[in-house]
Amino acid sequence: MLRLEDLSVRFGGLTAVNTVSLSVGSHEVVGLVGPNGAGKTTLFNAVSGLVKPSSGRILFDSADMLRTPLHRRARMGIGRTFQIPQPMHELTVRENLIVAQRFGTGAVDTRKIDEVLEFTALTDKAERHAATELALTELKALEVAKALATNPKLLLLDEVLAGLETNGKRRFMGMLKDLHEKFAVGILIIEHDIETISNLCHRVAVLNFGELIADGTPDKVFRDPEVMKSYTGASDA
């Protein structure tokens, strides 16, 4: 479904993503890991259209996305969340989803919005003001809910579990697993926690200094000494 071919993103002299080739199949869950500054979020930004790649190709359902504007990518089925939640200010939780659904799919289906609210445990907060009346777990859930409201084929989840306390993390993990089953989406997820990735993902790709250094099953990748070295910063695994 998503195929990156030799994708590079450069900011002046800095190469944030360096000739990365990676694919995510329909209904596949792929983890994207790597130390801070490895280029994970930049790669998400390139796929969702927030930054322009310097070279390489982004193919989604075989269509070249390089010239596709950001808003159209959402309509084609690419949904994303932000690491720091970005609720639409001035709107209630429900209005956030209405905007996402109306512009992401072209129509408003209130039944589907109720379903997404229930799935993300936000039904009770639907009429609350999104920017000021939600706790962090709820803001993270709203990020996922907005993306789901656009009826995505591929979800880019950027550290949705980061900053959550243990219980919240466990509940969120359960939700992510159900999400994959219920909404039949492919997922590319950035996450630091190896256990989470191992539980959730079919495959894991590792970025280090913008380069893809491993791509395979979690079992195989997390046994790779080079990966563990880059991940833990240890001189020897």
Q: Of 57, 20, 43, which Cα lies nearest the Cα of 214?
A: 20
* Contact residues: another protein, CB under 8 A: 48-50, 69-72, 74-75, 79-80, 82, 86-91, 95-96, 98-100, 102-105, 108, 131, 146-147, 149-150
Contact criterion met (CB below 8 Å) for 9 and 58: no
Residue 28 or residue 158: which is nearer to another protein going by CB? 158
Q: Which helix (H) or strand (E) holds 98?
A: helix 93-105
Q: Which helix (H) or strand (E) holds 183?
A: helix 166-183
Least CB distance from residue 73 to another protein, whole Å? 8
Residue 95 or residue 211: which is nearer to another protein going by CB? 95
Least CB distance from residue 106 to another protein, whole Å? 8
Residue 16 or residue 100: which is nearer to another protein going by CB? 100
Least CB distance from residue 160 to another protein, whole Å? 15
Least CB distance from residue 86 to another protein, whole Å? 4
Contact criterion met (CB below 8 Å) for 45 and 78: no
Q: Of 213, 216, 211, which Cα lies nearest the Cα of 227?
A: 213
Residue 69 or residue 174: which is nearer to another protein going by CB? 69
Contact criterion met (CB below 8 Å) for 93 and 122: yes
